[in-house]
């Protein structure tokens, strides 16, 4: 008898259901595609009426769509394993939640595996949790000591030849955000005593993301996802696409802290305001920058940067792709003095991603050149005696670039942070996802990761080249 009853154990939309009976059991499994979340859910039942979730007992190294299950015998399993499964498949199946899955490096030529793990992971007793099942052997297994270097691990599959891999596990603080993000802006909030990163949400084809998130930290290493702070589709009336490259400033207004968040949307620049670093932010209702400065024909109105001059307490907004423009912000911080717009493009190599800061009497201007889809995307700098130029470009002004020896490419679009109370500086930037980015073609330009490395100065005030690293920085105190 047919019944109109929902059996799925989730409130999400589902499709492609399949049912099968477990071998040597009176239990049935109902599985279905939670297609809005890109995953399957598995449930069990003895009466086909009441189901409970059993996801924790299921492991897959692929993403099925509308699948079905059939029983097979041992000989059939061996043939399938020999044809489709490899030692490398087993090694890349490590499921320990401390592992940053996007950054696993498997070298099948030299038979080496590198597993990057989160800060604080116990490397003396670490179990990678490789996905093993009948006819797959792995030794040694369980909790192993990786503090003394790589561990030899032997893997065998059915009738295949046994292979030995050198497996290394190490703490990797870059990328600092787990997942795909780019164009990072960083802020220290005097209100909360925390640092915040505001990135472009990446991993969308052709930079098609539509929302912004924020992440908080007390030590620049351990970051908490604070969720969405502005969603173009819900919160912005004048633009619904291409949420890119934000910047933010903390200002005291009538004795209370306010946060002014400038963002790119549909190749225009808007501003939203909040009372807290993670919002809620309220959009101003219109674009702040929507047309090119006088005399500019090419480029885009993107990549804002906001800077408060410590000498005058006056704030400035910078922007531009193909050109660098600046204008003073009015006291309301949500409008600019349109009569004072000035184009201060430093040179012909300037592309985008302006970043301005002040140190020891100098105004520093940083920018990215080349294209974010290029492995040669990089950061250069100049300095000035004024927040509106003229910009002087020193010799050897390349301060961030790819490092082929470490497999780091596409380093650019940075911001800079000074540790409160210290002359200690860090650069926050994005790179291609590592190690896969360099083989992704132009798609590497929207599958990027946020990293932090130390920035130091010579005695004459020039900036030393920043060394991009895999290990990242240690927590600050």
**CATH number of domain containing 88:** 2.60.40.2340
Considering the domain architecture, whether residues 236 and 384 belong to the same structural domain is answered as yes
Asked, for residue 10, whether it belongs to a domain, the answer is no
151: helix, strand or coil: strand
Res. 456: pLDDT tops 90:
yes
3 has pLDDT over 70: no
- The whole-model pTM stands at 0.89
Same domain, 157 and 238: no
Domain-embedded: residue 410:
yes
CA dihedral 125, 131, 137, 141 (to 10 degrees): 0
Query: Between 233 and 16, whose confidence is greater?
Result: 233
309 and 431 share one domain: yes
Residue 263 counted as domain residue? yes
Do residue 299 and residue 165 come from a single domain? no
Helix (H) / strand (E) containing 32 = strand 28-34
| Greater model confidence, 273 or 18 | 273
| In a shared domain, residues 145 and 231 | no
Q: Are residues 123 and 272 in the same domain?
A: no
Q: Which DSSP string corresponds to 49-111?
A: SS-EE-GGG---SS--SS-------HHHHHHHHHHH--HHHHHTT---TTB-GGG-EEETTTT
The pLDDT score that the predictor gives to residue 280 is: 94
- CA–CA–CA angle 348, 202, 430 (5° rounding): 50
Domain boundary among 117, 152, 171: 171
pLDDT digits (tens, 9 = 90+) for 421-449: 999 999 999 999 999 999 999 999 999 99
426 and 358 within one domain: yes
Q: What is the DSSP letter of 462?
A: P
Taken as a whole, the chain contains a residue count of 477
Which of 136, 151, 171 is the last residue before a domain boundary? 171
Within this chain, do residues 364 and 346 fall inside the same structural domain, yes or no?
Answer: yes
Phi first, then psi: what are they for 82, rounded to 5°?
Answer: -65, -30
Name the token pair of 81: 């394993």
| Structural domain count of the chain | 3
3-state SS, 258-275, equals EEEEEEEECCEEEEEEEC
Question: In this structure, is residue 3 part of a structural domain?
Answer: no
* Ramachandran category for residue 148: left, alpha or beta (phi over 0 → left; psi -120 to 50 → alpha): alpha
Half-sphere exposure of 261 (CA within 13 A, CB side): 34
pLDDT in tens, 368-418: 999 999 999 999 999 999 999 899 999 999 999 999 999 999 999 999 999
Residue 406 to residue 269: CA distance in whole angstroms: 36
Rounded to an integer, what distance in angstroms lies between the CA atom of residue 114 and that of residue 132?
19
348 and 420 share one domain? yes
Are residue 150 and residue 42 in the same domain, yes or no? no
Please give the residue that has the higher pLDDT: either 62 or 131: 131
* pLDDT tens, position by position, 339-349: 999 999 999 99
DSSP-derived letter for residue 232 is H
* Contact by Cβ (8 Å): 474, 223: no
Contact 451, 443 (CB under 8 A): no
CA dihedral 231, 234, 239, 245 (to 10 degrees): 0
- The confidence score (pLDDT) of residue 127 equals 97
Establish if 475 belongs to a structural domain.
Answer: no
Q: Is 378 helix (H, G, I), strand (E, B) or coil?
A: strand
State residue 2's pLDDT score: 57
The answer to whether residue 464 sits within a structural domain is no
* Domain end point (choices 147, 171, 195): 171
Domain that holds residue 139: 74-171
Please report the pLDDT score of residue 79 as a whole number.
Answer: 87
pLDDT top residue among 77 and 108: 108
Checking if the pLDDT of 58 tops 80, the result is no
Radius of gyration of the CA atoms of the chain, in A? 26
Euclidean distance between CA atoms 213 and 197, whole angstroms:
9
Establish if 65 belongs to a structural domain: no
pLDDT above 70 (res 283): yes
Q: Which residue has the tokens 């210290």?
A: 422
Task: Tell me if 477 is assigned to some domain.
Answer: no
Considering the chain, what percentage of its residues have pLDDT values greater than 70? 99
197 & 344 share domain: yes
Residues 428, 420: Cα–Cα separation, whole Å: 16
The CA distance from 245 to 247, in Å, is: 7
- Count H helices and E strands in the chain, helices first: 3, 28
Measure the CA–CA gap between 153 and 155, rounded to whole angstroms. Answer: 7
CATH code of residue 266: 2.115.10.20
- Tens of pLDDT, residue by residue over 189-247, are 999 999 999 999 999 999 999 999 999 999 999 999 999 999 999 999 999 999 999 99
Residue with tokens 């201060």: 344
Q: Say whether both 21 and 104 belong to one domain.
A: no
Task: Determine the 3-state secondary structure of 303 from DSSP.
Answer: coil
Furthest-apart CA pair in the chain: how many Å? 85
Helix (H, G, I), strand (E, B) or coil at 439: helix
Q: What's the chain's average pLDDT? A: 94
Query: Which pLDDT does position 61 carry in this prediction?
Result: 63
Taking alpha carbons only, the member of 288, 168, 159 closest to residue 236 is 288
Euclidean distance between CA atoms 140 and 276, whole angstroms: 50
| pLDDT attached to residue 70 | 86
Beta strands (DSSP E) in 341-470 are: 342-343, 352-359, 362-369, 378-384, 398-400, 412-418, 425-432, 448-455
Asked whether the beta carbons of 180 and 189 are under 8 A apart, the reply is no
Distance in angstroms (rounded) separating the CA atoms of residues 323 and 446: 22
Structure tokens at 145: 């000591």
Say which range, 73-87, 107-121, 445-459, has the weakest mean pLDDT: 73-87
Is residue 293 within 8 A of residue 321, CB to CB? The reply is no
pLDDT confidence of residue 38: 78
């Amino acid at each position: 008898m047919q019944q109109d009853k929902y059996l799925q154990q989730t409130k999400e939309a589902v499709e492609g259901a399949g049912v099968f009976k477990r071998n040597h059991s009176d239990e049935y499994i109902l599985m279905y595609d939670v297609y809005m979340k890109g995953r399957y859910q598995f449930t069990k039942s003895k009466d086909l009426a009441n189901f409970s979730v059993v996801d924790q007992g299921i492991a897959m190294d692929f993403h099925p769509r509308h699948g079905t299950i059939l029983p097979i015998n041992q000989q059939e399993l061996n043939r399938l394993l020999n044809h489709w499964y490899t030692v490398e498949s087993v090694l890349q199946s490590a499921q320990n939640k401390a592992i940053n899955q996007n950054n696993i490096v498997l070298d099948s030529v030299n038979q080496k595996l590198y597993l990057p793990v989160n800060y604080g992971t116990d490397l003396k007793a670490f179990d990678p949790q490789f996905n093993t099942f009948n006819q797959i052997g792995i030794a040694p297994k369980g909790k192993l000591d990786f503090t003394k270097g790589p561990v030899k691990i032997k893997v065998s599959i059915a009738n295949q030849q046994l292979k030995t891999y050198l497996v290394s596990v190490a703490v990797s603080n870059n990328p600092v955000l787990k997942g795909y993000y780019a164009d990072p802006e960083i802020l220290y909030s005097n209100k909360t005593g925390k640092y915040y990163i505001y990135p472009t949400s990446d991993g969308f084809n052709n930079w098609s993301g539509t929302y912004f998130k924020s992440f908080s930290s007390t030590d620049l290493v351990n970051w908490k996802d604070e969720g969405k702070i502005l969603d173009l589709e819900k919160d912005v009336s004048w633009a619904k696409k291409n949420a890119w490259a934000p910047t933010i400033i903390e200002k005291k207004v009538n004795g209370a802290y306010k946060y002014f968040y400038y963002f790119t949307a549909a190749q225009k620049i808007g501003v939203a305001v909040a009372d807290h670093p993670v919002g809620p932010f309220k959009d101003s209702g219109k674009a702040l920058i929507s047309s090119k400065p006088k005399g500019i024909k090419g480029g885009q109105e993107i990549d804002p940067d906001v800077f408060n001059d410590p000498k005058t307490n006056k704030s400035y907004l910078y922007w531009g792709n193909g050109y660098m423009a600046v204008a003073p912000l009015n006291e309301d911080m949500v409008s600019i003095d349109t009569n004072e717009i000035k184009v201060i493009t430093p040179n012909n190599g300037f592309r985008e991603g302006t970043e301005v800061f002040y140190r020891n009497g100098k105004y520093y201007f940083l920018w990215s050149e080349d294209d974010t889809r290029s492995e040669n995307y990089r950061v250069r700098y100049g300095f000035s005696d004024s927040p509106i130029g003229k910009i002087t470009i020193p010799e050897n002004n390349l301060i961030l670039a790819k490092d082929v020896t470490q497999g780091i490419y596409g380093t650019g679009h940075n911001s800079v942070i000074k540790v409160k109370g210290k002359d200690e500086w860090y650069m926050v930037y994005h790179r291609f996802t590592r190690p896969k980015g360099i083989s992704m073609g132009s798609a590497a330009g929207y599958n990027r990761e946020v990293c932090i490395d130390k920035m130091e100065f010579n005695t004459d005030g020039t900036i030393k080249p920043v060394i991009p690293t895999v290990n990242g920085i240690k927590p600050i105190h």
